[in-house]
Structure 1
Amino acid sequence: MALDTSADSPAPLRQVSTLIGQWVGRLGPVWVEAEVAQLTRRPGICFLVLRDLRATLSVRATCHASVLDASPAPVTEGARVVVHAKPEFYEPNGSLTLQIREIRPAGEGELLAQLERRKQLLAAEGLFDARLKKPLPFLPGTVGLVTGRASAAERDVLENARLRWPGVRFEVRHALMQGSGSARAVAAAVEELASQVDVIVVARGGGSLEDLLPFSDEALVRTVHACRVPVVSAIGHEQDTPLLDLVADVRASTPTDAAKRVVPDAAEENDRLAGARARLRRAVSGFVEHEAHALAQLRSRPVLAAPLTLVDAQEDALAHLRERTHRALGHRLDRERDAVGHHLARVRALSPLATLERGYAVAQTADGHVLTSVHDVPDAFVVRLADGSAHVTTDRTEETRHDD
């Protein structure tokens, strides 16, 4: 609705500002394509400056932090975006602001968003799991190389690998590394080399996002995941991260870096071998010196310096003990000899033989019965004397009477 104004009857600025706010309010939410010229993130809210893609026009915009986080691809300064926003006119200072309700990447941002979604799906399947990565062989017998024909990447890999290890062997498969069909060609080359080599390098120089899209192809990613030998991805430069880098067993920042990873450096290995040999020599020498010093200490001890000293001491102790034993045994034998003599004297004193030696005799019958009475004397009997026996016959017997 147009205002009826003139130079003599102008409208107040506040009235004009109010009408502009009403007109902007009736515009409703719109989809806007622009470039993010400035982005400031605060707790819970984000402030942006959107710039037209062809003109110098720029408009301020705001959105909740959750709207920015919900974008399929990260939103950064310089990114091309499409936003769904409601224009708002702030009357106090006459500024136009877009209240963003949804933000989507456009151009490369849309490609990045698609790659991010594909990355998340493949990661959910476990294709990028670090536990599935195969280690590279220390010294591969044959290295497979998939690259473009007569490319700088091929030259970098071959020359640097042969400088490091002159005897390395390569099986090279040339494939399209850009454009339609390149993903299928690379996947076919990887499948062919898998049964012929110990490790495979896929190498390509740098390029734009669109140039490197084939190396984020899902079929190629699955082929590398299923490959039975380790695969090294050397695509683009260090800042380029196609999905092939995530599924490969090793990611090399450049083709030159890939050459350094697949084969050892002969000069470095010689230096390491020399260092290990020197360390081993020092260790063995140190061990021998330590043991020699310990042996010298042992030999310097009295028991080893003069080992017979201990034997002599024990021999003297043994001789002393033997002498004591002989003395103790002799004393014991003397005491027992004396005791036996005493007992023998007592036995002899009590023995009938002693009585017989004093002139007495014992009359016995033939069966050994002692005769104590003349009434028991037989016609023949034996008289026992001190030094023998006499057989006698009885002529007569006389009885002796004893007076009381």
Structure 2
Amino acid sequence: MSAKTSPEAPLPVRSVLQMVAQWIGKLGTVWVEGQITELTARGGTVFMTLRDPVANVSARVTCARNVYESSLPRPVDGARVVVHVKADFWVNRGSFAFTAMEIRPVGVGELLARLERLRQVLAAEGVFNNDRKRRLPFLPGTVGLICGRDSAAERDVLENARRRWPAVRFKVEQVAVQGGLAVAEVTDALHRLDADREVDVIIVARGGGSLEDLLPFSDESLVRAVAACRTPVVSAIGHEQDSPLLDLVADLRASTPTDAAKKVVPDVGEQLALVHQLRDRGRRVMGGWLERELAWVNSVRSRPSLADPVREVERRAEQVDQLRERARRVLDHSLHRSSDGLEHLRARLVALSPAATLERGYAIVQRPSGEVVRKAAELAEGEALTVRFPDDRVGVEVTGL
């Protein structure tokens, strides 16, 4: 088209719109899923708006009344449907719309099957694992609350939390909690609260509803946004029997908004009672320990060594004196025995001494070298010898053999 047109040779509007209509007509027929809003009927034609269940996107749809009435049950505002449509572009008005040829309501069974498939996929990725969930702070400074505008869930959370801990602070994000805008608004509010460093925990609250009403809280993008949050998230969607996927990914699930307030904020009365209880318990424990220690001290003080320490010293002194006297007696006895043994040994030595033999009239003949002569045959004539007596000695010479 750019090659065939120019400022000097432009195409008329009708030609451009006809080309757009031809290009759109090539799309053919498609099946589209969405939520019906603004349903009206005029004559033999039914007009409606088909809104995307997640994004803020919608398109106009027209259909013949017989096509609408042949769908059982008949769709109403807010119903989820699958529509077989053909894209049409109205050249005269320059507008785009779908023409419906068949409408099929999405039943609860099919919705549950889709949710189950999504749950299995997310579970396989570990999004619901308990090891990735975080503990809630004991006393959050600021609590982020995502809820509907002027909803009963908001009042339940605020009133019960402030009744339990009057000083608790809240940052409330009021958003759409059902319909086509719910997912986008809840996700945006979640990101804002998660980025706020003052917020210690986030509560997502809604006061129950039908399966279709709670579908936004099972949306995959919202579930992944909760899983990626830095701040712990508490899910308080619906009642005990309701179980959207947000309950599985949240760090803590509360059955109701009131239950969420009880789990996030401690009760000041209970905490004071616990403090008193622990203080009394500590007093009893310390009292028992002191009594045991005093009893031990008294038992130690009653022992003789501490009751009369001088007596123990005297007893030990008596033992020392007794041992010293005993040692003296043993040593004296040992010395006497050794002295007697020495006298006996000396008498024996004297008796066996050569000097004693000499005293009886004997003499010892020796050579000058000191060798004792035992036989006369060992001597030579003229050899000099020494004769030893008990008190003196004399030199002699051998004159004959």
TM-score normalised by the chain length of structure 1: 0.57
Following superposition, the deviation at residue 368 of structure 1 comes to 2.4
Does structure 1 retain, via aligned residues, the 8 Å contact 2:147–2:153?
A: yes
Structure-1 residue corresponding to 2:118: 122
Q: Given the alignment of the two structures, is residue 352 of structure 1 paired with residue 348 of structure 2, yes or no?
A: no
Following superposition, the deviation at residue 147 of structure 1 comes to 1.9
Question: Alpha carbons of 1:386 and 1:241: their partners in 2 closer, same or farther (altered >3 Å)?
Answer: same
- Per-residue CA deviation, residues 4-50 of structure 1 (Å, 9 max, x unaligned), is xxxxxxxxxxxxxxxxxxxxxxxxxxxxxxxxxxxxxxxxxxxxxxx
CA–CA distance in structure 2, aligned partners of residues 188 and 180 of structure 1: 14
The SS at the match of 1:349 is helix
CA–CA distance in structure 1, aligned partners of residues 245 and 295 of structure 2: 63
Structure-2 residue corresponding to 1:384: 388
Following superposition, the deviation at residue 306 of structure 1 comes to 5.1
CA–CA distance in structure 2, aligned partners of residues 346 and 249 of structure 1: 110
Give the letter aligned to residue 384 of structure 1.
R
From 297, 300, 317, the equivalent of 2:299 is 297
CA–CA distance in structure 2, aligned partners of residues 236 and 307 of structure 1: 80
CA–CA distance in structure 2, aligned partners of residues 174 and 321 of structure 1: 98
Does structure 1 retain, via aligned residues, the 8 Å contact 2:358–2:390?
A: yes
The SS at the match of 1:117 is helix
Higher Cα Rg: structure 1 or 2? 1
Following superposition, the deviation at residue 239 of structure 1 comes to 5.2
- Per-residue CA deviation, residues 356-381 of structure 1 (Å, 9 max, x unaligned), is 44565545443224567698685865
- Per-residue CA deviation, residues 209-230 of structure 1 (Å, 9 max, x unaligned), is 5544433444433433443432
From 336, 339, 343, the equivalent of 1:337 is 339
The SS at the match of 2:289 is helix
1:181-220 superposed matches below 5 A: 181-196=181-196, 197-207=199-209, 210-220=212-222
The SS at the match of 2:299 is helix
From 277, 286, 291, the equivalent of 2:288 is 286
The SS at the match of 1:277 is helix
CA–CA distance in structure 2, aligned partners of residues 262 and 123 of structure 1: 26
Following superposition, the deviation at residue 307 of structure 1 comes to 6.2
Give the letter aligned to residue 270 of structure 1.
L
Give the letter aligned to residue 223 of structure 1.
A
Structure-1 residue corresponding to 2:154: 154
Following superposition, the deviation at residue 144 of structure 1 comes to 1.9
Does structure 1 retain, via aligned residues, the 8 Å contact 2:381–2:400?
A: no
Does structure 2 retain, via aligned residues, the 8 Å contact 1:115–1:216?
A: no
From 219, 224, 227, the equivalent of 2:226 is 224
Question: Alpha carbons of 1:217 and 1:364: their partners in 2 closer, same or farther (altered >3 Å)?
Answer: closer
Following superposition, the deviation at residue 301 of structure 1 comes to 4.2
CA–CA distance in structure 1, aligned partners of residues 338 and 251 of structure 2: 101
Give the letter aligned to residue 229 of structure 2.
C
Does structure 1 retain, via aligned residues, the 8 Å contact 2:226–2:250?
A: yes
CA–CA distance in structure 1, aligned partners of residues 213 and 294 of structure 2: 70
From 102, 113, 120, the equivalent of 2:109 is 113
CA–CA distance in structure 2, aligned partners of residues 206 and 301 of structure 1: 76
CA–CA distance in structure 2, aligned partners of residues 158 and 347 of structure 1: 122
Percent pairwise identity: 52
Could you list the runs of 5+ residues in structure 1 that have no partner in the other structure? 1-105, 400-404
Does structure 2 retain, via aligned residues, the 8 Å contact 1:200–1:229?
A: yes
Following superposition, the deviation at residue 243 of structure 1 comes to 4.1
Following superposition, the deviation at residue 166 of structure 1 comes to 4.4
Work out which structure has the larger RCO, using CA pairs closer than 8 Å and 6 or more positions apart in sequence.
2
Give the letter aligned to residue 338 of structure 1.
D
Following superposition, the deviation at residue 182 of structure 1 comes to 1.4
Structure-2 residue corresponding to 1:134: 134
Give the letter aligned to residue 170 of structure 1.
F
Structure-2 residue corresponding to 1:94: none
Following superposition, the deviation at residue 201 of structure 1 comes to 0.8
Does structure 1 retain, via aligned residues, the 8 Å contact 2:119–2:245?
A: no
Give the letter aligned to residue 154 of structure 1.
E
From 230, 249, 258, the equivalent of 2:251 is 249
Structure-2 residue corresponding to 1:89: none
Does structure 2 retain, via aligned residues, the 8 Å contact 1:144–1:193?
A: yes
Following superposition, the deviation at residue 321 of structure 1 comes to 5.5
